[in-house]
Amino acid sequence: MSTTPDSALRKPDFPAFKAIYCVLPDDGTDKRVLIELRKRHGVIRASTWACRGIGALAQVKTKRGKLPESDLVKQLCAICTEDQADEIFDFIFWSANVDKPGRGEMWQQAVTGCTPYELPADIPDEKTGA
Amino acid sequence: MSEIIYLTDVAVINCIVDKERTDAVLLAARDVGARGAIVHTVQGWGTRERLGAWGVAVETEKDVIAFLVSSDQQDLVFDAIYQVAGLDAPGRGFMFISPVERAATYVPEAVRKQLNVNPE
């Protein structure tokens, strides 16, 4: 896919977006944060996936020259506008308890382009069915 | 509720290597000071399906390893991974560094006191 001159011209008008990543323990926090991001902040460009987390500072016994056992962790990615970034970053930090030991880490990166994304309006709520 | 300490001058190093080299890469990065890593297992196809004189099929089971490191460390970690992963050989994988605007994690009380940020 190549960038056409038209789309290149449109880019300066495009709102600036940020990608916020967060590594979380596999205890359901990721799903809870995703739901709250949608309900409270309207952020729907977000997803999580499973990965292996290896913490070098984890207080576990390992043999010399060996790595500690990895943990199953979840990585969350949320895309939001630049205006929302401060609010969303702080929200994820506090709601996922990232300030507590062993609760993961998070970071923010600039995104140079982003497609619009909408969900169908007639999806029933997962819990209430309404 | 204490204050968030935003960490700046941070970068993410992403490295795509064969699964068999993952542990060596992680150890090498740890030895030069990387604090932790996140590993995703992926099914990766490159631009060619076979490589070399014998036409050996490229191993498609790859690991994507992400390291969050300080900007000061990034070259050191990058070089260490490059050597261990053998990325100078064709078809072994590749890696890239991307800048991070800010990061946050648990900051121990002793460090908070040192920085004079919300000592409890």
Q: Is residue A130 part of a domain?
A: no
- In chain A, the residue whose alpha carbon lies closest to the alpha carbon of B6 is A107
Query: With a CB-CB cutoff of 8 Å, which residues 91-130 of chain A face chain B?
Result: 93-94, 98-110
Instruction: Give which of B16, B12, B38 is closest to B82, Cα–Cα.
Output: B16
Three-state DSSP at B102 gives strand
In a domain, A4, yes or no: no
Q: Which of A7-21, A26-40, A99-113, B9-23 has the lowest mean pLDDT?
A: A7-21
Radius of gyration of chain B (CA): 18
Rounded Cα gap, residues A65 and A68, in angstroms: 10
Contact call for A51 and B98, based on CB within 8 A: no
The CATH architecture of the domain made up of B10-115 is: 2-Layer Sandwich (3.30)
Q: Residue B102 burial (CB < 10 Å; 0-12/13-18/19+)?
A: buried
Task: Give the phi and the psi of residue B83 in degrees, each rounded to 5.
Answer: -70, -50
- What residue type is B100 in one-letter code? V
Give me the number of domains chain A comprises: 1
Range of the domain at A54: 15-58+67-111
pLDDT value, residue A90: 96
User: Would an 8 Å CB–CB cutoff place A41 in contact with chain B?
Assistant: no
Query: Is this complex's ipTM strictly greater than 0.95?
Result: no
Q: In CATH, what number is assigned to the domain containing residue A30?
A: 3.30.70.120
How far, in Å, CA of B105 to CA of B7, rounded? 8
Q: Write the pLDDT tens digit of every residue in B61-116.
A: 889 999 999 999 999 999 999 999 999 888 788 999 999 999 999 888 888 888 88
Cβ-Cβ contacts under 8 Å between A and B: the total is: 86
Measured in angstroms, the CA of B41 and the nearest CA of chain A are apart by 7
With a CB cutoff of 8 Å and minimum separation 6, the contacts of A24 are: A30, A33, A48, A73, A74, A75, A76, A96, A103, A104
Say yes or no: B99 contacts chain A, CB-CB below 8 A: yes
| Domain-located, residue A117 | no
pTM: 0.83
Domain map (residue ranges) of chain B? 10-115
Q: What is the pLDDT of residues A65-109, one digit of tens each?
A: 777 788 899 999 999 999 999 999 999 999 999 998 888 899 999
How many degrees, rounded to 5, is the angle at CA B34 between CA B62 and CA B42?
A: 15
- For residue A5, being part of any structural domain is answered with no
